[in-house]
Structure formats: structure tokens, C-alpha cells
């Protein structure tokens, strides 16, 4: 079947829903927002800490937030993107609260602000320790109550549509690639439908699921980056993968692995080997309180040296009642798997957490492909540079939803539907019966990425990853041509594409910078010059 919408939004986390609400307000055409599972399931729901914005001008100001972001990004963030996000953030916080999102306030009505690692001031708005779930709840209610937004759950975008589908040769040097919508898998018919759109917006979130262990939900397979890359659009900075140092190690819980917040180290938690020996003194004078990337590297090294699959976080020296009061969620979660954290160590290990790179976009959220925008974690705006400052991602998504809405609303009148686009061709394909071909390959991608393209990299490991991924790529593309499109094979394809992009861009960066750490190039290239 063919559907026609003025605005097609792929993804329904904070980015997709904020954009949809802003477009709906303008009443400039039909809007469809799709998501590949339920509306509830998105990285957004998992965010704990909060959302960064300067809201207390007496103590804080834009320059300080800008400076903190540039330092975290290892000075390769795009200053224009940083300035845009920081300066537009307060207005977008008001927008969120107007849509019904609640942030904790003090008795006098002002926001109860937290301070997180890397922030020089208290500027993190939060809702207890489940800010993301509150944002997702508020936005879901707002979009569900909005009659101008059509929502289609369990609809999977397979490919974006360009001139390529009209038989025109499209290469990475083609200057005027245009997006005409997307091919989308219908869960009821199991057929791929054609969604023609004047404006297409990719809001597909992160790609943590390409690693063996991640704090992201299983849906985070990097579909947006992969679709745009295949369509010959620009994808950038994929080597900058943020690993959270302390995810709970518990067999079978890897997508997502439960996050043990950094606040626990701030509270006095000590990192130890399972034998009880502490180790952070070998790595940084700030010990267990060193920045995220340093702690993640230290743990990774200790696990490799000792051949162990986790280290431990110890809060047994703290007063038991205080621990239970400060960390009720963590206490109960650990208890549910038989660990009383007031008496026993918490088994932890690093997990892939956040993708700083993605689909390259300008200040208005538009990608290198005309009529195609990318917002949220799948986009590379330049804000994060080499490393993300805590709580800067949710705010980035809302600010860019705003600039993209402004820009696309001003342009949509110039576009028409491209009625020449053919239906998805699945002639000669079979229903896939050998599911093991897919599940085994997904496991292999995770192993390759975690072992060779993880926290510490080398030229040798990266080349090995490239060769292994290449083999998987050939096998999977051949399989994709033989079988009817289904969610699993499409996700596998996307994961291989994303794995390849992370690996290739890591090979190209011949320096240690931000989150990219390689034993072959120990210092920044600019320091050597």
C-alpha cells in the first residue's frame, strides 16, 4: 500500500515526539509518527540523571554551560551547535513543562537543580531519578491527545526512499540526493508499504545494541544511521562511543544492563577486584571518582589483566540504612538477584551507553540529503564533539526538534509528493526459516564490537573487526536478497552497517581524542604538531 503524509517522523522518543508536537501546532499538513515497538519503549524512558539547562541566572550563565560542554567534548565540539543548544535550552524546558512534563521543584517553586560530573554549576533539572520516564510519559500523553498526529506502533522503517529507487545512480558525491519518504514494514500484513512524504525526519535513537553489553534497550540498533549511510548520506563521529563504567553484571541482562549510577561512587563507593583489592590508585589520583572514560578504561584493563568478566563496587563500609535511603532502586534491584549491597560487593562492568556521532546535520537539523532531517541520539549535531557532557543529550533533542520544526515548516510548501516511486520489490524472496542464521550473526556482531572496537582500541584489533564484519556483511546482504524483509534481518543489517561505521571512523582517527582511545596513537595529533 502507499500512504502520503506531509511529515513522516521515524521514531517516538523525546526527539520524535517533541518535533511532532511542534509541527502539529502549526497545522501545516498530515503528520505520521511511527515507532518500531511500543511508544513506551525508547532510550528516553531509561534516562535517569536529568536534563541540563541554565535556569538559575543568579549563579549560572550560558558561558559556563558552553565552556563545560567544550571541555567535555575535548575541544572538537562545533561551537555554533554548542551555543545554539545552551542558549535555546531554557525556552525548551518551558515547552516541555507546558506539554505536561514535571520536574522536581523546591518549596519556593524554583527547580530543584542537581550538579553532575563535568558541570561547574547546579543546572540539572530532574524528576527524582527517573527523569527520562517522566519526559516520555508527558510527551506520550500529549501526542496521544493530539488529533493532528497519527501514531503507528510496531511499524519498522526499512529504508529511506531516494532517486536510487527510481533507477538513478546515487553515489556519495551526488550533490542533490532527495528523500521522498520511507519503506515501512507493516506488522499485520508483514508487507513493506510505501510512505511518501514531503519531509522525512529520522529520530531513531542510539545504537548501543551493537555491543555485547549496553545500558540501552534492545531496540537501539542504529537503524537511522544505517539507513542514511546506505542512502549515501553523511554519517560522522561514530568512533565516539560513550561507555558507562558501572553497569550491573548479571548473566542474561545485557540489553539493557541495569545502570549503577555514578552517584554511588560520589557517595563513597570503592571499585575493587573480586578479591577485594582496590585498583583505581594505579590509574588516577581521583581514584573511583575519576571521570567516566578514565574509570571505564581502568576497569576494562583490570578485566583483561586478570581474565575476569567483572569488577566490584563496594559500599559495605557505608551505613546500611543510609545506603538503602539514597539508592532504593539499586538496593532492590540487587536484592532481587540475591545481592544485599549493604553487606556484599556489587558486580559491575562497563557497558556501551551513548553514541556521540551519527547522521551529520546542520544547525537546522537537516542532513546532507534534501528533505531529510535527523534529531536526537541518531544525529551528529557537533554538540558532543569527542565526549558527551552528562545530561546534554535530552536537551539537544528538544532544541533541535525546535530548529528543525522551524526550518521544515518554512520549506514544506516547496515540496511535492513523488508519485513515481515504485512499490517495494520482494519478488522471488522466501520466508526465512533458518532464524539461527540471524541470531548467531547478531551475537557475533556484539562480540566483534566489544572485543575489538570497545573502550581500548588498536590498529590491529580494528583491522580484525573490519575483516570479520566484512564477512558478516557479505553473508547478510546475500540473505537479505533471498528472504522477505522482516524486522530481525533488517536490524542485523543495520547493526553490521553501524559496526562498520564505528570501526572505519575509529581507524581513520589517528589520535587519542575524547572517547576514542587507542594504544597506537597515544597523544592528540595537534599536540604532536
Ligand X SMILES: Cc1cc2nc3c(=O)[nH]c(=O)nc-3n(C[C@H](O)[C@H](O)[C@H](O)COP(=O)(O)OP(=O)(O)OC[C@H]3O[C@@H](n4cnc5c(N)ncnc54)[C@H](O)[C@@H]3O)c2cc1C
Which x/- pattern over 488-517 shows residues binding ligand X (rule: CB under 6 A)? ------------------------------
User: For residues 372 and 379, what is the distance between their CA atoms, to the nearest angstrom?
Assistant: 12
10 binding ligand X? (CB under 6 A) = yes
CB of residue 154 vs ligand X: minimum separation in angstroms? 9
376 binding ligand X? (CB under 6 A) = yes
- Residue 131 vs 254, nearer CB to ligand X: 131
201 binding ligand X? (CB under 6 A) = no
Residue 510's contacts (CB-CB under 8 Å, 6 or more residues apart) are: 521, 525
393 binding ligand X? (CB under 6 A) = yes
Q: Which of 137, 292, 366, 509 is catalytic?
A: 292
The footprint of ligand X on this chain (CB under 6 A) covers a number of residues equal to: 41
Q: How far is CA 118 from CA 115, 135, 378, 417, in A?
A: 9, 23, 23, 46
Q: CB of 177 within 8 A of CB of 56?
A: no
Q: Residues 54, 149, 157, 271: which binds ligand X (CB under 6 A)?
A: 157
259 binding ligand X? (CB under 6 A) = yes
Cell numbers of 286, please? 581521583
Task: Say how many residues make up the chain.
Answer: 529
Closest CA to 224 of 245, 248, 207: 207
394 binding ligand X? (CB under 6 A) = yes
CB of residue 496 vs ligand X: minimum separation in angstroms? 15
The secondary element (H helix, E strand) that includes residue 243 is strand 241-248
Q: What is the DSSP letter of 194?
A: E
Q: CB of 372 within 8 A of CB of 366?
A: yes
Active site residue 292: yes
Contacts to ligand X from residues 30-69, by CB under 6 A: 34-37, 42-44, 46-51
181 binding ligand X? (CB under 6 A) = no
193 pairs with which residues across the strands? 184
- Residue 182 vs 421, nearer CB to ligand X: 182
Q: Residues 5, 6, 9, 12: which binds ligand X (CB under 6 A)?
A: 12
User: For residues 214 and 244, what is the distance between their CA atoms, to the nearest angstrom?
Assistant: 9
CB of residue 142 vs ligand X: minimum separation in angstroms? 14
**CA 376 from centre of chain:** 8
Secondary structure of 269-308 in the HEC alphabet? CEEECCCCCECHHHCCCCHHHCCHHHHHHHHHHHHHHHCC
Contacts to ligand X from residues 303-362, by CB under 6 A: 354
Contacts to ligand X from residues 213-232, by CB under 6 A: 215-216, 219, 223
- Residue 100 vs 174, nearer CB to ligand X: 100
Residues with catalytic function: 292
Residues forming the site for ligand X (CB under 6 A): 10-16, 34-37, 42-44, 46-51, 131-132, 156-157, 203-206, 215-216, 219, 223, 259, 354, 376-377, 391-394, 397
Amino acid at each position: 500500500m502507499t500512504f502520503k503524509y506531509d511529515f513522516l517522523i521515524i521514531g517516538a522518543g523525546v526527539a520524535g515526539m517533541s518535533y511532532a508536537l511542534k509541527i502539529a501546532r502549526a497545522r501545516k499538513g498530515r503528520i505520521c509518527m511511527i515507532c518500531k515497538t511500543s511508544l513506551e519503549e525508547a532510550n528516553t524512558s531509561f534516562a535517569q540523571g536529568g536534563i541540563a539547562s541554565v535556569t538559575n541566572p543568579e549563579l549560572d550563565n550560558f558561558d559556563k554551560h558552553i565552556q563545560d560542554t567544550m571541555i567535555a567534548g575535548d575541544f572538537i565540539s562545533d561551537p555554533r551547535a554548542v551555543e545554539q543548544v545552551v542558549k535555546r535550552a531554557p525556552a525548551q524546558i518551558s515547552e516541555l513543562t507546558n506539554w505536561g512534563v514535571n520536574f522536581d521543584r523546591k518549596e519556593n517553586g524554583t527547580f530543584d537543580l542537581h550538579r553532575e560530573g563535568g558541570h561547574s554549576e547546579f543546572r540539572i533539572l530532574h524528576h527524582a531519578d527517573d527523569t527520562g520516564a517522566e519526559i516520555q510519559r508527558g510527551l506520550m500523553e500529549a501526542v496521544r491527545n493530539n488529533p493532528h498526529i497519527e501514531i503507528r506502533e510496531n511499524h519498522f522503517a526499512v529504508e529511506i526512499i531516494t532517486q536510487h529507487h527510481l533507477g538513478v545512480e546515487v553515489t556519495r558525491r551526488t550533490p542533490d540526493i532527495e528523500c521522498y519518504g520511507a519503506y515501512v514494514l507493516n506488522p499485520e500484513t508483514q508487507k513493506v508499504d510505501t510512505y511518501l512524504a514531503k519531509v522525512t525526519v529520522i529520530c531513531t535513537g542510539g545504537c548501543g545494541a551493537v555491543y555485547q553489553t549496553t545500558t540501552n534497550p534492545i531496540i537501539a540498533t542504529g537503524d537511522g544511521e544505517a539507513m542514511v549511510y546506505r542512502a549515501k548520506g553523511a554519517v560522522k563521529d561514530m568512533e565516539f562511543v560513550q561507555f558507562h563504567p558501572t553497569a550491573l553484571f548479571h548473566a542474561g541482562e545485557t540489553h539493557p544492563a541495569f545502570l549503577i549510577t555514578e552517584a554511588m561512587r560520589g557517595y563513597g563507593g570503592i571499585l575493587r577486584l573480586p578479591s577485594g583489592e582496590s585498583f583505581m590508585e594505579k590509574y588516577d589520583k581521583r581514584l573511583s571518582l575519576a571521570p567516566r572514560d578514565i574509570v571505564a578504561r581502568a576497569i576494562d584493563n583490570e578485566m583483561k589483566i586478570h581474565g575476569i568478566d567483572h569488577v566490584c563496587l563496594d559500599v559495605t563500609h557505608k551505613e546500611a540504612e543510609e545506603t538503602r535511603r539514597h539508592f532504593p532502586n539499586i538496593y532492590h534491584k540487587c536484592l532481587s538477584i540475591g545481592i544485599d549491597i549493604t553487606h556484599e560487593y556489587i558486580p559491575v562492568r562497563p557497558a556501551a551507553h551513548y553514541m556521540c556521532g551519527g547522521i551529520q546535520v546542520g544547525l537546522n537539523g537537516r542532513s546532507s540529503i534534501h528533505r531529510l532531517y535527523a534529531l536526537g541520539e541518531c544525529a551528529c549535531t557537533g554538540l558532543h564533539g569527542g565526549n558527551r557532557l552528562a545530561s546534554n543529550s535530552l536537551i539537544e533533542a528538544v532544541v533541535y526538534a525546535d530548529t528543525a520544526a522551524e526550518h521544515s515548516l518554512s520549506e514544506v510548501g516547496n515540496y511535492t509528493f513523488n508519485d513515481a516511486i515504485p512499490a517495494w520489490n520482494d519478488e522471488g524472496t522466501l520466508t526465512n526459516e533458518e532464524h539461527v542464521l540471524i541470531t548467531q550473526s547478531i551475537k557475533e556482531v556484539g562480540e566483534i564490537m566489544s572485543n575489538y572496537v570497545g573502550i581500548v582500541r588498536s590498529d590491529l584489533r580494528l583491522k580484525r573487526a573490519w575483516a570479520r564484519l566484512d564477512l558478516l556483511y557479505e553473508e547478510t546482504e546475500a540473505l537479505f536478497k533471498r528472504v522477505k524483509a522482516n524486522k530481525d534481518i533488517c536490524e542485523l543489517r543495520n547493526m553490521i552497517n553501524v559496526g562498520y561505521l564505528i570501526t572505519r571512523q575509529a581507524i581513520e582517527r589517528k589520535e587519542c581524542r575524547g572517547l576514542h582511545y587507542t594504544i597506537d596513537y597515544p597523544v592528540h595529533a595537534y599536540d604532536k604538531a
